[in-house]
Structure 1
Amino acid sequence: MKGHINYDPTFKLKISKRSFVDGLSKRFHYAEKMVKFNDPNALQWQYLNTHHETVDINVYPVYVQNITGRGVVNRVMDDALDINHPDLEENYEARVSLNLCEKDLRNNPRGTNGEMTLDNLHGTMCAGIISSVANNSICTHGIAYNSRVGAVRMLCEEGTVSFAVLVRAVTHAYRQIDTSSSSWGPTDDGKTTSGPTKRLRDAYDTLAFKGRGGKGVINVFAGGNGAEFKDNCGADGYINYPWAISVAALGKDGTKASYSEACAAIRIAVPVGRDLKTTSGNSACSSNFTGTSAGAPLLIGSLALILETRPDLTLRDIMHILTISGRLPRVDVWNQFSFNAAGLLTSTSMGSGLLDIALGHKLAKNWKNVGKMCEVSFKSDQKLPLADVFWTEDSTIARTKYMHYLNGKSSKLPIKGKKTLVTFRVKESNCTIEKLENVIISLKINHGNPDNLEISLISPSGTDTVLLYARGDEFHKNSPINYEWTATGFYGENPNGRWTVIVRDRKPLINTKTDKVRGRIEAARLTIQGTALNDSAYERNKQLYDEVLTKAGKERRQSGKGHRLTESEAQQVFREQVKRYFDAFE
């Protein structure tokens, strides 16, 4: 029978006493005897890694519980969907599908004139990772292989998409979908900076606040594939939208994939590499799907398993669960991670770490919903001499103007060669926030070459993160930045105290007869989101947090200070988390 697990309930007793060192064999017993698939490419390393054990999403312990995504409706926003594919048609959800590229075929998200060409296979590959059918001897199976999947075709063959089309795509059937997967974005060339318009942000807000009966559609974005071109997702406004879940990609050995971009908005990482098996157009199979494009549907399918068990969880609940259930993929990436002051792992390249869906599902089963969220914004309140700096052929600084923060107007700070600091003093307000969730920084910057700028944020507890990395050496004259960044690494911290934004010019221009550059910060705003203590996920799920936090994490929480992960801490954390990984197979 399609989509059915062949499960031997007595086998669990046979392996329950196996030792930790025999964990790898234990996992194979799960794959071979407790959960059986006849799909040709069912046993993928992303699902169960045979070479670098534990570098996978740890999904088999969830399958053993007969959790397969039933009742969950997923949507892929992409180029097309082969609705006639034998590995997808049984799970296809027509009521949430739409073709925005052809007026005459509005209800058919297949390619142009209903044909699937080489230019529109991407969406079908994404859909297969989420919901392709199991045990039909075709291709492989989706992560949530009993969930439903539809598609909005909005990436047309012309190669461009208007904001008006995006607004319609985002809001289509928002009441009927549970998740939305987006594996597209601004060009990953190390030059482009782009984000949603206000109208499009309003459309995304509709998903976040009105979707799923007010619980929020789980909206996942691929984190970007431009790292090899010195690109980073700090320049992508879609990934930095606060209610998006942005995902990074890992290679087969657990290191960051060479193409995967980094920024403070990355929430979690999934194993992708360059060889994920999935469906393709014209009823074919693909063996080389790659990039964070594959990572987004991989995460969507994993979260669909959680939503089957707990459909009442909100978008914020899901974000919390991802934040505490990520794990260190290997010890020698310790220098890419920090502990925040709540004892949680955070990284600009991997978020909270490698996805562990077995742990996430275990947490979800007993999770108590987070309470009402509060949001407060602050402007910089410092009074400092500020300069408009520019170069002439006669002198380095031709003129200096002094301005002060006054009557609510934003400060204007010079961007010097070393660094410029913007500080915010956060105090208690009528809207009480004692436990942080998202932190959002808005800056308006005028600079001769913004690609040289690196922008960082430090919390009152000492946790630091990079919002935007410097990108390449090309000179983009008079390119303004009026931008917003989301930082996910401060969850659980207390926001009160001094927040510091650091803007560094990593390659300041030298004085020549032709160089003329202006650099200043014209406006700065800090927005914090979170809850009072009793409404927080941490207080309501205190026992779950205590069970998940590592010894080193608890020490960080006790100290109330964030810091960069040390190698010795990484060794300890890795041992504890790997043991928990294998314990899931008991």
Structure 2
Amino acid sequence: MTRLSIVVLACISAAAITVINGIEHDSVCSGSECADSHHTVIKLVKRDDALARKIADEHDMEIRGEPFMDSHYFAYHKDNTGRRRKREVLQSLEAHPHVDAVHEQIPRRRVKRDYVVNDNERVVAEESSDRSRRASGSSIVDQGISKQRRQAGGGLEIPRLPFRDPLYNDQWYLVGNAVGGFDMNVRKAWLLGYAGRNVSISILDDGIQRDHPDLAANYDPLASTDINDHDDDPTPQNNGDNKHGTRCAGEVAAIANNNECGVGVAFKSKIGGVRMLDGAVSDSVEAASLSLNQNHIDIYSASWGPEDDGKTFDGPGPLAREAFYRGIKNGRGGKGNIFVWASGNGGSRQDSCSADGYTTSVYTLSISSATFDNHRPWYLEECPSSIATTYSSANINQPAIVTVDVPRGCTKMHTGTSASAPLAAGIIALALEANPALTWRDMQHLVLRTANPSPLLDNPGWSVNGVGRKISNKFGYGLMDGHELVKWAKDWRTVPEQHICTYEYKLAAPNPRPLTGRFQLNFTLEVNGCETGTPVLYLEHVQVHSTVRYGKRGDLKLTLFSPAGTRSVLLPPRPQDFNVNGFHKWPFLSVQMWGEDPRGTWVLMVESVTTNANLAGTFHDWTLLLYGTADPAHPSDKVHPPGPPPTGQSILGRMQQLTSQTEDAAPEAISIGDLRSVGDCHEECAAGCHESHSASACFKCKHLQQSLRNRAGFKCVTYCDDGFFKEDDSCKKCSPLCHTCTKAEVCSTCPGALLLIDVDHFAHWDHGQCVEKCPEGLVADYESNLIQARCVLKENFCGAGYFMLPNNGRCSNCDEACELCHGAGPIYCDKCAQGFGNRSVGYCRPCCSNGQKPIDDHCEDCSAAAIASFSHLSHSSPFWSFVWLLLAVSLVGLVIAAGYFFFRDERSRDGVEYTALPRYNAASGAINLDFSDDSDSEDEIMKTGQI
């Protein structure tokens, strides 16, 4: 079940104070920078188009376009509504019983990542390009390679090369005419018969010229829409500014052998476009684009992002993060959508793609650029989240990318990382035709494993990671190779389940740590694979979430060192960035440790390169997030043996010790009935086996015994497989409602895009349950754990000791039993106050004094012995906790009933007046300290934030 919400693209007043939340802070406008937008988005409890229109009409609004993400609706005010009236509308909508939430949105600046040259430069460049092509002899190369067509099999249509399209020979990046004879090895993939059949790609941009003669036959209406004008036609405005999306589409899917322009990399794929950059861009506009038809679209290609100005930190908002999450969980029938992103064009301003939350997302493949002569283009941004590179332009004296143009015709001047991302999308489409079963993580593995660093090794900055792969902050793992990618894709087996291990650095006093002038600090974390649960032994993504305040953010440099010695510069200095706030919980990403064993010492080096001794700041925290698998993804991978078993030897460990003693010793007799071991047992067997090299043929297990999924018997394992949980020396099955679990009915991850309830107290006793939507009082968190979205408590704007009243938004005191709470009474405590405890029941009650007994006196035994005893009981028997809870609640109910009759006359007493507490606006996240409800002044004291 889902709910209807309304998102307003409105501006905060100049008097407002912005609270940064996560990864989107630099996009938030303030003061005169804010444009008062008329956009609104509504989300209902469940999808109901007629009801959405009715609710909007009741509030002088109208619904436009189709809903997105189940039940979100774009709405518009019917007239030029004033600020006060808009606030009233938002408050009324939030109170509506069919409205789930009201998210107030702010327009964001998003830029296309191309490089526009003037007309004089264009003529010079195209003449230079023509000279380069004529000197190359690419037709001869193609004629030679076409002789291989008879050798290709599989029943696929093999093209005859060269194609007759007039600009095909100008596509130097496809026909071996980069300096040194390099290209992206796509022709060999074509000659295997692959051209992107049955693969749908959507270009998220300023629209697509769907009737262009080089695109029309491949146009896919199901991968297209117009978010800006809320209709189905993505055709761009023909005003000279909206060519970008069409040009990107031509790179992917321009038709071959039709005498038009050049050839798309995946010339038989289906191509669509979303018009979303030709108007106000907001979190909701991005989310609607990213979530379009996720079961139909295979690949989304985006060649835009935050301002590449060298001074911006910005990324996706909460709705866009949810769209990404839904895409990788549910898209393509559960295999996950593939999001390809241009890494950025801010190189001339010394920008870094580490400050771009789209390229630092684990869900995207961030693609960099290389030039005609295999060097770094002037606009390239460096970061360790770039996974691979494709070709693009450099300057007016070198050739650029050939593609279609708006409204007709062709161009040979498409440039920037904007041109690189669509080439990558086309190459990926070839691999998906070769193996449609590939998941989004399979594709990341394949892209980095098949990338070719050789053409780019003359550039400085290359190093070798802990598993022997060459890595670069400029080019990722190298130049994408279409033939190798297809060849690996054909026989690729789905990678093991991804897990996450989180290590939070505990900062000793002083906390936060003061920073002054030029400095270098090293913070170390010891990692053992995972504190609990399935270990991560083979790394994939590595994230560092950190908060640092500093007088000039651009003087900060962050470097991460893995236990294998791999060095990733997470954030280089950015001279243009004079921001004085720093960054808050920013998710820096590195893919450079891929395949390494994470166990050992990690070091985060935080330093300043400033020359100003008076600059000051504070270091607050950092968290290391390790994404990866317990098993190798490919047979050729270096094996990382599991660590030693937990301390404390079990009987099975004792048996293994006995059987491994030398022959001179007198081993203790072991009785296994009448069975005799056949020898050469699996390494997990203890005391023999009845079949060699089989983990399911052991007499006893060395570590853990796990039941077989579909038949009787067991197998021996080092750790429990997904779908099982560890209990003593056995792995037991999780509930079918869980994907993984810590107890039979307590999930740790959920199937599909379900949300995990991650609040552990009585009022939400279904902790560890998987739900379609969060229960009342909880909100969805798509940021802190990218493998599993969770339902968590709303951020408490009232502060410690207070909670938000649900009806009027005022803050009220917590019960005396609570130090922290989210509702009235001891049952809603999040942390008990001093002198109270909740070890034996699910709510806080007074600790027992001398001589008192918990059952007789309705108190809590807060002694150390009782706490230790209950800690074991609560983990082993939640049933008895629940029984005690019911008894306690029943007794409390009797006491309250008796008290009601005895003290009912007390109601006539005069009430005691208390100082009014702030009023909270859940629609905007605002707390109003001025209690006059009719104020419409610009000087209202407001504090805003986003949930």
TM-score of the two chains, using structure 2 as the length reference: 0.49
1:381, 1:423 within 8 Å by CA — same for their partners in 2? Answer: no
Q: Which moved more, 1:183-192 or 1:500-509?
A: 500-509
Counterparts of 1:453 and 1:55, CA distance in 2 = 38
Give the match's secondary structure for 1:101: coil
Which AA in structure 2 matches 1:37? F
Question: Which residue of 1 is the match for residue 242 of structure 2?
Answer: 120
Q: Distance in 2 between matches of 1:128 and 1:261?
A: 25
Residue equivalent to 2:418: 293
Map residues 19-58 of structure 1 onto 2, 5 A cutoff. Answer: 29-30=144-145, 34-43=160-169, 44-58=171-185
What corresponds to 1:183 in structure 2? 303
What letter matches 1:356 in structure 2?
A: D
Contact 1:55 1:252 in 2 (8 A): no
Which whole-Å deviations, capped at 9, do the CAs of 1:190-227 have from their partners, x for residues lacking one?
11111112222111111111111111111000000110
CA distance in 1, matches of 2:498, 2:577: 42
Distance 1:474 1:83 in 2: 40
2:216 maps to 1:216: no
Q: How far off its partner does 1:366 sit?
A: 1.6
CA contact (8 A) 1:378 1:525 kept: yes
AA partner of residue 165 (structure 2): D
Equivalent residue pairs, number:
482
- 1:469 and 2:565 matched: no
C-alpha spacing 1:492/1:24, structure 2 compared with 1 (3 Å): farther
Which of 583, 591, 611 matches 1:488? 591
CA contact (8 A) 2:139 2:162 kept: no
Displacement of 1:414 after TM fit? 3.4
Return the alpha-carbon distance in structure 1 between the equivalents of residues 193 and 469 of structure 2. 30
- Residue 87 (structure 1) aligns with: 214
Distance of aligned partners of 1:342 and 1:538 in 2 relative to their CA distance in 1, 3 Å threshold: farther
For residue 227 of structure 2, what is the aligned residue in structure 1? Answer: 100
Could you tell me how far apart the structure 2 residues matched to 1:343 and 1:129 are? 33
1:379 to 504, 510, 524: 504
User: Percent identity, aligned pairs only?
Assistant: 31
Describe the SS at the equivalent of 2:235. coil
Q: Is 1:427 equivalent to 2:522 in the alignment?
A: no
SS of aligned partner of 1:286: strand
2:501 & 2:301 partners in 1: Cα distance?
A: 29
Q: 1:358 aligns with which of 483, 503, 520?
A: 483
Structure 1 pair 235/353, CA: closer, same or farther in 2 (3 Å)? same
Q: Deviations over 1:255-295 (max 9, x none)?
A: 12111111010000111125101011112211100010000
Question: Per the alignment, do residues 51 and 83 of structure 1 end up closer, same or farther by CA in structure 2, a change over 3 Å counting?
Answer: closer
Q: Alpha-carbon deviation of 1:499?
A: 0.9
Answer whether contact 1:314 1:369 (CA < 8 A) is retained.
Answer: yes
Residue 461 of structure 1 aligns to which amino acid in structure 2? A
Contact 1:419 1:505 in 2 (8 A): yes
Aligned with 2:430 (options 294, 305, 313): 305
TM-score, normalised relative to structure 1: 0.79
Partner of 2:277: 155
Q: Does 1:520 align with 2:618?
A: yes
Residue 482 of structure 1 and its aligned partner are, at CA, apart by: 3.2
List per-residue Cα deviations over 1:355-396 (Å, max 9, x = no partner): 11111111111211111111111101464x5xxxxxxxxxxx
The reply to whether residue 282 of structure 1 matches residue 282 of structure 2 is no
**Which residue type is aligned with residue 617 of structure 2?**
G
Measure the CA separation in 2 of the matches of 1:294 and 1:32.
31
Residue in 1 that maps onto 2:155? none
In structure 2, the residue matched to 1:572 is: none
Distance 1:249 1:331, change over 3 A: closer
Match of 2:375 among 255, 266, 271: 255
8 A contact 2:544–2:625 mirrored in 1: yes
| Unaligned runs of at least 5 residues, structure 2 | 1-137, 149-159, 395-399, 639-947
Matched residues in 2 for 1:374 and 1:474: separation? 35
SS of structure 1 residue aligned to 2:406: coil
Code of the residue aligned with 2:388 in structure 1: it is I
Pick from 605, 630, 637 the counterpart of residue 532 of structure 1: 630
Displacement of 1:28 in angstroms is 5.6
Q: Structure 1: which amino acid aligns with 2:415?
A: T
Contact kept, 8 Å, 2:516 with 2:617, in 1: the verdict is: yes
> C-alpha offsets along residues 439-490 of structure 1, whole Å, 9 cap, x if unaligned?
0110011111111111111101100011111111553233444311110101
8 A contact 2:256–2:267 mirrored in 1 = yes
Partner Cα distance (2:584, 2:458) in 1:
32
SS of residue matched to 2:460: helix
Tell me, in whole angstroms, the C-alpha distance in 1 between the residues paired with 2:228 and 2:402: 27
* 1:508 Cα deviation after fit: 4.3
Asked whether the equivalents of residues 83 and 92 of structure 1 are also in contact (C-alpha less than 8 Å), the reply is yes
Q: Whole-Å Cα distance in 2 between the matches of residues 96 and 220 of structure 1? A: 15
Aligned to 2:265: 143
The amino acid of 2:630's aligned partner reads: A
Work out the CA distance in 2 between the residues paired with 1:216 and 1:108: 26
Matches of 1:336 and 1:451, distance apart in 2: 21
- Aligned residue for 1:253, secondary structure, equals coil
**Does structure 1 retain, via aligned residues, the 8 Å contact 2:202–2:271?**
yes
Which residue in 1 is equivalent to 2:518?
417
| 1:332 CA drift (Å) | 5.1
**Other-structure match for 1:390:** none
Check conservation: 1:456, 1:464, Cα contact below 8 A.
yes
Deviation of 1:85 (Å)? 0.2
Q: Tell me the residue number matched to 2:561.
A: 458
1:75 maps to 202
Residues 352 and 572 in structure 2, CA contact (< 8 A), matched pair in contact too: yes
Once residues 421 and 54 of structure 1 are traced to their aligned partners in structure 2, the CA distance between those partners, rounded to angstroms, is 45
Q: Distance in 1 between matches of 2:515 and 2:556?
A: 13
Q: Distance in 2 between matches of 1:292 and 1:283?
A: 23
User: Contact (CA 8 Å) 2:517, 2:608: kept in 1 or not?
Assistant: yes
The 3-state SS of whatever aligns with 1:238 is coil
Structure 1 residue runs of 5 or longer lacking an equivalent are 1-22, 386-401, 404-410, 512-516, 544-586
Mark the CA change 1:542 to 1:232 in structure 2 (over 3 Å): closer, same or farther: closer
Aligned to 2:493: 368
* Amino acid corresponding to residue 537 of structure 2 in structure 1: E
C-alpha distance in 1 between matches for 2:369 and 2:195:
23
Q: In structure 1, what is the equivalent of residue 602 of structure 2?
A: 499
Contact 1:220 1:244 in 2 (8 A): yes
Q: In the alignment, which of 321, 324, 343 is matched to residue 468 of structure 2?
A: 343
- The question of whether the paired residues in 2 share the 8 Å contact of 1:449 and 1:476 is answered with yes
* Amino acid of the structure 1 residue aligned with 2:295: R
Q: Structure 1 residues 132 and 26 mapped into 2: Cα distance closer, same or farther (>3 Å)? A: closer
Shift of 1:334: 5.7
Matching residue within 547, 550, 555 for 1:444: 547
In terms of mean alpha carbon deviation, does 42-51 or 284-293 score higher?
Answer: 42-51
> SS of the residue aligned with 1:372?
coil
C-alpha change, 1:25 and 1:421, in structure 2 (3 Å) is farther
Could you say which residue in structure 2 is the equivalent of 1:333? 458
